[in-house]
């Protein structure tokens, strides 16, 4: 249980599961914009607040500047009213006001420490030239601004060389003094702190909600995959053998379809394996049953003549031979299944091999009064497994001899083109009914069971041959007319194609 929990947590933390990835995605999509939005709003507020504050103070300073001029404060800074006004202003905005006259001399400092000193700074000079500056230093926490003290009444008229008269503008000549103000931004910082606290509380609530939504949504979205896994596990554990159905997402439907097809294929394989096992048992039991019947009947007779013993024993020997043949064929088939990829490929003279096989089978043909003809169209050397090729050729020729008629014939033709060689076996035998043509390669299939048994067939020869042909990446085809004969054609690549 703990191991399972750790496994789940590990998958979550390492983001290897679909669920954790969906979770992360929703989380990022939800949280990043909210953080960016908070920061954007705060910065915007700060800019707006500084702007507003500067504007308000500037307006107040302009009024004071007018008063200054009226009272001629720049020339005789003794007016208590003005001083009080300036002190009030600096108290109100938690700042410091310096009044600088035309000689860059500080005539009033609300802090009272710099009076009488000279100040020549860039901002002050610029202000004398008519440009008032406002500067915000967020790091040190103050706003600094310069306000020109402009005398609007002293309109001077200038006459230029051509005699044009222009009225003096509010230019540099009219700036009589400068007010240099710096004030603390503590008010703005305070408001921002309150705002930021509220925003963080809101953001935390939002993050909790987003985490909850992400957790639920990731569970919902990855749910179908978990259900597919559960259904597959149930099949794998053997609780069910039926096709599964998880009709949620198109993706899971595809997985389920593929799995069901695999299940179907496995079922077919399982069925064929069961059928094969029952066929094998049946085939192996038949000779044993015959032997038991023969032996029992001998035992039941007290004084059975020696000839009867001999006859029955000969029958028993032939049943033993049959049992042996079935086991040999079965072993060949099993070996073929196992070693399809383990062929022992060598360059084999196909004509020579065919002649050797025919030489071995001619005595049987002679016994059944069947003529065997061999025709070699051209010399063929091919890359094949000689043992398996021998199995293919001898099974086909043996069948053609076995399922023939009296005075019949068998014709074997070896030919080749630039890619394949062909091995063709035609006969004048009993033929194969059309409906059986597709089944003759199945293990233990025989058109006429008793006839095949009579002539010693096991029903495995063509299954072995087909497997061997396929292992060489070749083809086997058959054409047949009942009562007239059959023709088997094997086509195999001259050069072995590795799988």
Chain residues binding ligand ADP by CB under 6 A are 395, 399-400, 403, 427, 429-432, 440, 445-448, 452, 457-463, 486
* Residue placing its CB nearer to ligand ADP in the complex, 214 or 462: 462
* Residue placing its CB nearer to ligand ADP in the complex, 78 or 481: 481
Q: CA 408 → CA 346, 385, 396, 425, 429, distances in Å?
A: 35, 31, 16, 14, 7
CB of 446 to ligand ADP, least distance (A): 3
CB of 480 to ligand ADP, least distance (A): 7
* Residue placing its CB nearer to ligand ADP in the complex, 58 or 436: 436
CB of 429 to ligand ADP, least distance (A): 5
* Residue placing its CB nearer to ligand ADP in the complex, 214 or 400: 400
* Residue placing its CB nearer to ligand ADP in the complex, 54 or 458: 458
CB of 341 to ligand ADP, least distance (A): 24
* Residue placing its CB nearer to ligand ADP in the complex, 118 or 438: 438
CB of 244 to ligand ADP, least distance (A): 39
* Residue placing its CB nearer to ligand ADP in the complex, 248 or 371: 371
- Which 3-state string (H, E, C) describes the chain? CHHHHHHHHHHHHCCCCHHHHHHHHHHHHHHHHHHHHHHHHHHHHHHHHHHHHHHHHHHHHHHHHHHHHHCCCCCCCCCHHHHHHHHHHHHHCCEEEEEEECCCEEEEECCCCCCCCECCCHHHHHHHCCCCCEEEECCCCEEEEEEEEECCCCCCEEECCCCCEEECCCCHHHEEEEEEEEEECHHHHHHHHHHHHHHHHHHHHHHHHHHHHHHHHHHHHHHHHHHHHHHHHHHHHCCCCCCCCCCCCHHHHHHHHHHHHHHHHHHHHHHHHHHHHHHHHHHHHHHHHHHHHHHHHHHHCCCCCHHHHHHHHHHHHHHHHHHHHHHHHHHHHHHHHHCCCCCCEEEEEHHHHHHHHHHHHHHHHHHCCEEEEEEECCCCEEEEEHHHHHHHHHHHHHHHHHCCCCCEEEEEEEEECCCEEEEEEEECCCCCCHHHCCCCCCCCCCCCHHHHHHCCCCCCHHHHHHHHHHHCCCEEEEEEECCCEEEEEEEEECCCCCC
CB of 408 to ligand ADP, least distance (A): 10
What are the backbone dihedrals phi and psi of residue 460, each rounded to the nearest 5 degrees, phi first? -110, -15
* Residue placing its CB nearer to ligand ADP in the complex, 203 or 448: 448
- Which 3-state string (H, E, C) describes 343-380? CCEEEEEHHHHHHHHHHHHHHHHHHCCEEEEEEECCCC
The answer to whether the CB of 112 falls within 8 A of the CB of 77 is no
CB of 443 to ligand ADP, least distance (A): 8
The answer to whether the CB of 246 falls within 8 A of the CB of 228 is yes
CB of 426 to ligand ADP, least distance (A): 9
The answer to whether the CB of 410 falls within 8 A of the CB of 370 is yes
* Residue placing its CB nearer to ligand ADP in the complex, 382 or 397: 397
CB of 359 to ligand ADP, least distance (A): 20
CB of 309 to ligand ADP, least distance (A): 30
**Which two structure tokens, joined as six digits, stand for 280?**
């094998």
* Residue placing its CB nearer to ligand ADP in the complex, 114 or 436: 436
CB of 431 to ligand ADP, least distance (A): 6
* Residue placing its CB nearer to ligand ADP in the complex, 179 or 400: 400
CB atoms within 10 A of CB 372: 22
CB of 273 to ligand ADP, least distance (A): 19
* Residue placing its CB nearer to ligand ADP in the complex, 254 or 407: 407
């Amino acid at each position: 249980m703990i191991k399972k929990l750790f496994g789940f947590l590990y998958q979550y933390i390492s983001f290897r599961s679909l669920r954790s990835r969906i979770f992360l995605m929703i989380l990022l999509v939800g949280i990043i914009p909210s953080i960016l939005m908070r920061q954007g709003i705060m910065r915007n507020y700060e800019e707006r607040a500084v702007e507003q504050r500067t504007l308000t103070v500037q307006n107040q300073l302009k009024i004071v500047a007018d008063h200054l001029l009226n009272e001629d404060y720049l020339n005789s800074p003794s007016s208590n009213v003005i001083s009080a006004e300036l002190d009030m202003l600096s108290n109100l905005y938690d700042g410091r006001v310096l009044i600088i006259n035309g000689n860059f001399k500080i005539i009033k400092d609300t802090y009272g420490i710099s009076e009488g000193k000279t100040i020549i700074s860039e901002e002050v000079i610029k202000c004398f030239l008519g440009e008032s500056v406002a500067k915000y230093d967020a790091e040190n926490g103050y706003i600094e601004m310069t306000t020109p003290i402009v005398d609007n009444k002293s309109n001077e008229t200038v006459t230029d060389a051509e005699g044009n008269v222009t009225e003096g503008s509010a230019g540099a000549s009219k700036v009589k003094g400068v007010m240099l103000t710096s004030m603390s931004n503590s008010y703005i910082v305070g408001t921002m702190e309150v705002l930021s606290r509220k925003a963080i509380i809101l953001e935390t609530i939002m993050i909790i909600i987003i985490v909850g939504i992400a957790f639920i949504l990731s569970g919902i979205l990855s749910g179908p995959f978990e259900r597919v896994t559960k259904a597959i596990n149930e099949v794998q554990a053997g609780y069910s053998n039926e096709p599964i159905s998880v009709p949620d997402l198109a993706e899971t439907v595809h997985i389920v379809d593929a799995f069901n097809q695999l299940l179907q294929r496995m079922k077919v394989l399982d069925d064929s394996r069961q059928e094969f096992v029952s066929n094998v048992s049946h085939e192996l039991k038949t000779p044993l049953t015959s032997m038991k019947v023969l032996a029992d009947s001998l035992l039941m007779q007290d004084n059975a003549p020696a000839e009867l013993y001999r006859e029955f024993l000969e029958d028993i020997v032939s049943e033993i031979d049959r049992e042996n043949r079935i086991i040999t064929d079965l072993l060949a088939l099993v070996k073929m299944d196992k070693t399809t990829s383990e062929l022992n490929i060598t360059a084999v003279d196909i004509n020579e091999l065919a002649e050797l096989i025919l030489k071995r089978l001619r005595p049987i043909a002679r016994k059944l009064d069947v003529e065997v003809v061999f025709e070699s169209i051209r010399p063929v050397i091919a890359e094949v497994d000689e043992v398996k090729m021998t199995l293919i050729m001898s099974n086909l020729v043996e069948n053609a001899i076995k399922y023939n008629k009296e005075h019949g014939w068998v014709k074997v033709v070896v030919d080749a083109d630039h890619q394949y060689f062909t091995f063709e076996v035609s006969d004048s035998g009993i033929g194969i009914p059309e409906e059986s043509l597709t089944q003759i390669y199945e293990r233990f299939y025989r058109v006429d069971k008793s006839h095949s048994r009579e002539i010693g067939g096991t029903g495995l020869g063509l299954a072995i041959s087909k497997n061997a042909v396929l292992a060489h990446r070749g083809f086997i085809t058959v054409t047949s007319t009942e009562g007239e004969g059959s023709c088997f054609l094997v086509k195999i690549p001259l050069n072995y194609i590795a799988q």
